[in-house]
């Protein structure tokens, strides 16, 4: 098996005649955290839908572990997904939510309890194992949602701005914890965010998209050793460089707009 987990090749998606993604191409290696940033409405959600097996591409292909998605008769790969909102089933306890995906993934029942307990321990929510999600705080629900994604040991994990609804202090804690959990579990993660600083902090590699229809504007390796500090000046420096480069590409450069006017 090659080191490449996800291979996106010449991917295009259109809604009728409106293109949302155009000739997108990138790879994600095993154990890598790739953060995808792009302006609002550029096609990130469409890209996630294609990567998650929900939306077949109009053109091009997506392969996971060398198996092409959307080929008829082929089972979809095991996937973990952390959504913008937790999407836990509120009528099932944390344990029952995790059991639901374990059963769907075909994991033997004998392994369930061990997997659930060890992950909840790592995520520091083991005391809420039998709690209803609505009785947990936003941060605790997010941890449970991350546990759900990790518990099935997926081929890859998609994260769609999971920290955007948290307060900044909780979000910072969660970023640190996510970084160390992913390193420990050697998970392969595609993390979509609007926050360039968050992306730089978390990523091994950044994929910067253009405005819609999305294409890769630039890829950038974040060469800062782990564990990282959110306040690290090198993160701030890379963030500033990225912002400077995307301003024009995303049509947000006030200076140029003022000149044109």
Partner 1 sequence: MTKLLGALIAFALILVLWFVLSAHLHPWVPSPVATVEAAWKVLGTPELYRDLVATAERLVTAFVASTLIGTVIGIAVGLDKRVEAFFQPLLALMLAVPDPVYIIFAILGLGTGEVTGIVALSLVVTPFVANIVRSSVQARDTTLDEMAKVYRISRWRTFTSTLLPQLVPALITAGRFSFALSWKVVILVEALAQPTGIGARVYHDFSMFRMAPAFAVAIMFCVVMQIVERLVLQQLEQRALRWRS
Residue 160: Cβ within 10 Å count: 20
Min CB(231)–partner 1 separation in Å: 34
Q: Which is nearer to partner 1, 119 or 206 (CB)?
A: 119
CA distance 133 to 131: 6
Select from 3, 83, 36 the least CA-distant residue to 204.
36
- Choosing from 25, 68, 89, 229, the residue that interacts with partner 1 (CB under 8 A) is 89
| The pairing of beta strand 189-193 with beta strand 205-209 | unpaired
| Binding letters toward partner 1, positions 15-54, x by CB under 8 A | -------------------------------------xxx
Instruction: Report if residue 81 touches partner 1, rule: CB under 8 A.
Output: yes
CA distance readout (Å), 146 to 98, 177, 208, 246? 10, 11, 24, 30
- Taking a C-beta distance cutoff of 8 angstroms, is the pair 83, 153 a contact? no
- Choosing from 25, 68, 103, 229, the residue that interacts with partner 1 (CB under 8 A) is 103
Side-chain half-sphere CA neighbours of 144 within 13 A: 31
- At a CB cut-off of 8 Å and minimum separation 6, what does 255 contact? none
Instruction: Report if residue 85 touches partner 1, rule: CB under 8 A.
Output: yes
**DSSP class of 124:** T
Q: Which of these segments, 64-72, 86-94, 174-182, 196-204, binds partner 1 (CB under 8 A)? A: 86-94
| Binding letters toward partner 1, positions 149-168, x by CB under 8 A | ---x----------------
Residue 31: Cβ within 10 Å count: 15
- Choosing from 31, 58, 100, 177, the residue that interacts with partner 1 (CB under 8 A) is 100
Length of the chain: 261
Instruction: Report if residue 70 touches partner 1, rule: CB under 8 A.
Output: no
- Choosing from 7, 30, 87, 220, the residue that interacts with partner 1 (CB under 8 A) is 87
Q: Which is nearer to partner 1, 51 or 174 (CB)?
A: 51
Instruction: Report if residue 250 touches partner 1, rule: CB under 8 A.
Output: no
Sites of contact with partner 1 (CB under 8 A): 52-54, 76, 78-79, 81, 83, 85, 87, 89-92, 100-101, 103-105, 132, 134, 148, 152
């Amino acid at each position: 098996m090659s080191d490449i987990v996800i291979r996106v090749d010449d991917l295009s998606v259109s809604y009728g005649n409106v293109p949302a993604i155009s000739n997108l191409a990138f790879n994600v290696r095993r154990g890598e955290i790739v953060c995808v940033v792009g302006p609002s409405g550029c096609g990130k959600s469409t890209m996630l839908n294609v990567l998650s097996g929900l939306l077949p591409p109009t053109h091009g292909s997506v392969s996971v572990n060398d198996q092409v998605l959307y080929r008829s008769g082929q089972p979809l790969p095991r996937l973990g997904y952390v959504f913008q909102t937790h999407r836990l089933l509120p009528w099932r306890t944390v344990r029952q939510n995790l059991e639901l995906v374990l059963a769907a993934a075909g994991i033997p029942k004998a392994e369930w309890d061990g997997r659930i307990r060890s992950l909840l321990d790592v995520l520091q929510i083991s005391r809420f194992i039998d709690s209803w999600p609505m009785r947990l705080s936003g941060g605790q629900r997010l941890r449970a949602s991350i546990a759900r994604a990790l518990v099935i040991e997926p081929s890859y994990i998609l994260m769609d701005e999971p920290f955007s609804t948290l307060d900044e202090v909780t979000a910072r804690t969660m970023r640190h914890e996510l970084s160390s959990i992913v390193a420990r579990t050697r998970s392969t993660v595609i993390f979509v965010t609007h926050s360039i600083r968050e992306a730089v902090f978390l990523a091994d590699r950044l994929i910067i998209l253009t405005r819609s229809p999305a294409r890769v504007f630039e890829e950038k390796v974040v060469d800062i050793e782990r564990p990282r500090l959110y306040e690290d000046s090198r993160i701030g420096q890379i963030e500033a460089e990225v912002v400077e480069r995307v301003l024009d590409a995303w049509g947000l450069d006030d200076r140029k707009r003022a000149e044109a006017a």
